[in-house]
Amino acid sequence: MFQDPGFFHTALLKDLKPGVKYFYSYGTDEDTSKVTSFTGPPYPETKVAVTKFAGYGDMGVYYPPYYGDSMPGAADVTHALEQEAAEGLDFILHFGDISYARGRGYIWDQFMSQMTKVAEQVPYMVGVGNHEYDHVSGGDKDPSGAPENGFHPEWGNYGDDGGGECGVPTSHRYVSPDNGNGVFWYSFDYGLVHVIQFSSEHDFRPGSRQFLWIEKDLKSVDRKKTPWIVVTSHRPLYASQDAESDYVVGQHMIKALEELFHTYKVNIHLSGHYHSYESTCTVVGGNCVKPGTATVYVVVGTSGHALEEQAYRPYPWSKYQNCVTFGYERITANSTHMHVEYVTAPGGKVLDDFTIPVWE
């Protein structure tokens, strides 16, 4: 049964001063939120010492009653992120499989309520995954402008995982920079970092609309202002867990995008889709190379959904694997090094910890 989601209200705040703490509340005269706060972001030309952020995919909700997939880790990861945000994150990246609503509007409402204490404090930047977007009908409602019913290459496993949403709820609930294609692909600068969030659910092959946009965006990055390039998508390029159809998609992503990432010196690629954690060496063409000369790839789909514990294939580029612990990625960058940590929730233990130097 359709349930009208009501109205979504957006406020655009202008002329924010960097480093200034702003206090605010929201609501109506009859029902107003508690006063909360956020800190103004740095100006693009401002020199900052450190940029710190978190990233993950595949969360879902923990609110009862919930009649969908099991999301046993969502509560612990959400509470950990509330604390991280309070202690000083600059922003959060959630690269797809957000609420797992699949057409059930009340689950979106639950997810937005669940993340209130996080998103009140820091920018919460999302990308689309298969469970927000993939569809086989209703393409005329698709706000991304993809032809027909979206991206369905013969080698892919793109079905109807979005439950008929076609990206509509995601594009209405989240606001993105207007330099790409709405919530589907876009980029932004924050401090020392340039972030590109693109859609693995849309055509990413050379010559496609999205590929040409990614290439143009990478060309435009001023490494003197933002020495680090972070790229995210829902699906990974490199992942060794035994899931054949997803592995095939990853191979096509490598074929389409790895050379582009290498040419423009992408430092790290973050993804989810696999409900597990994995990090690679510095890798190009399937070979480990010297740090600072290629891209590191991290899968972090451990923020809530039930974990997938299938075996890993023995690829030499796979450095660390974990399919039994919930958590998120915490990244801290200064002008010369990027420190990357996989943090468990609950517990806050760091299980994977490495440093990337700036590209030589």
Whether 252 has a pLDDT exceeding 60, the answer reads: yes
Could you give the CA distance from residue 335 to residue 75 in angstroms, rounded to a whole number?
Answer: 34
**Euclidean distance between CA atoms 332 and 239, whole angstroms:** 23
User: Would the pLDDT of 163 be above 80?
Assistant: yes
> What are residue 271's DSSP bridge partners?
299
User: Using one digit for the tens of pLDDT, what is the confidence trace for 187-219?
Assistant: 999 999 999 999 999 999 999 999 999 999 999
State mean pLDDT over 139-164. 94
Please state the pTM of the whole predicted model.
0.96
Residues 130 and 108: their CA atoms lie apart, in Å, by: 16
Q: Report the range of poorest mean pLDDT among 66-70, 143-147, 310-314, 355-359.
A: 66-70
Q: Are 156 and 94 in contact (CB under 8 A)?
A: no
Say if residue 68's pLDDT is above 70. Answer: no
Its sign, for the CA torsion 94, 97, 103, 107, is negative
Averaged pLDDT for residues 339-348: 97
Beta bridge partners of 357: 337
Rounded distance between C-alpha atoms, residue 254 and residue 238, angstroms? 8
pLDDT tier at 244 (50, 70, 90 boundaries)?
Answer: very high
pLDDT given for residue 67 in this prediction = 54
CA distance 232 to 94: 9
Among candidates 128, 149, 130, which has minimal Cα distance to 138? 149
Tokens representing residue 241 in the block: 């867990």
Q: What is the mean pLDDT of residues 309-335?
A: 97
Helix (H) or strand (E) holding 254: helix 244-263
Element (DSSP H or E) covering residue 23: strand 21-24
Tokens of 159: 């079905």
pLDDT for 28 equals 87
Residues 106-122 have pLDDT tens digits of: 899 999 999 999 999 99
What pLDDT score does 324 carry?
Answer: 97
